[in-house]
Amino acid sequence: MKHMLKSNAVKEPLWYQAVSRTPPAELPLKASVPPRLVYEEDTLIRGYLRRNPEAAFIPLTMNSTEPHFVRKFAWRQQELMGAGYSREEAYQLSERELESEKIKAHQLVNTDEDLIKSVQDEEEEFVKLAISMQKGRVEEKSEEEAPAHDEDAADEKKKE
């Protein structure tokens, strides 16, 4: 702007004197690094994964609103720590609770498997009954046709 004013290319704006008296703000040469945010929950999750590395390979369900079980484990551990338990005691209690939940879930799955098996057994009985009924109809038809054939054969013998 200064060069344009010296060459009379533009007329001096009203604000130019005020701006030229105010020096630009000095920017820091190096921006300060913000402090790292570390949540207690994250340290508990890392602790669980250190003790149980296979849990890191359990997939997340992306369309679910349900959090990963490790996060729920950490929440429960935090809750117990808030109730006065030490970190290790809270871990042990949370682990026992998780094991009992796994057992309950396994029982539900087995119950579902038993239910599926009983439905399949009922369907199998129904199919067997339907097949036997179908065979019975075929046998009835063949019995009805057989005497007719025998009568035809007897009639033919009489004619001879």
Question: Closest Cα to residue 68, out of 87, 88, 42?
Answer: 42
- pLDDT of 22 reads 85
Structure tokens at 148: 């007719």
Structure tokens at 135: 């065979």
Asked if residues 41 and 48 have their Cβ atoms less than 8 Å apart, the reply is: no
pLDDT tens per residue across span 79-119? 999 999 999 999 999 999 988 887 776 676 566 667 777 78
**Full-model pTM:** 0.48
Q: What is the pLDDT along the chain (160 residues), one digit of tens a residue?
A: 788 888 888 888 888 888 888 878 877 778 788 889 999 999 999 999 999 999 889 888 788 888 888 999 999 999 999 999 999 999 999 999 988 887 776 676 566 667 777 788 888 888 888 888 887 766 666 665 555 555 555 555 555 5
- pLDDT of 63 reads 85
- pLDDT of 20 reads 85
What is the SS3 assignment for the chain? CHHHHHCCCCCCCCCHHHHHHCCCCCCCCCCCCCCCCCCHHHHHHHHHHHHCHHHHHCCCCCCCCCCCHHHHHHHHHHHHHHCCCCHHHHHHHHHHHHHHHHHHHHHHHHHHHHHHHHHHHHHHHHHHHHHHHHHHHHHHHHHHHHHHHHHHHHHHHHHC
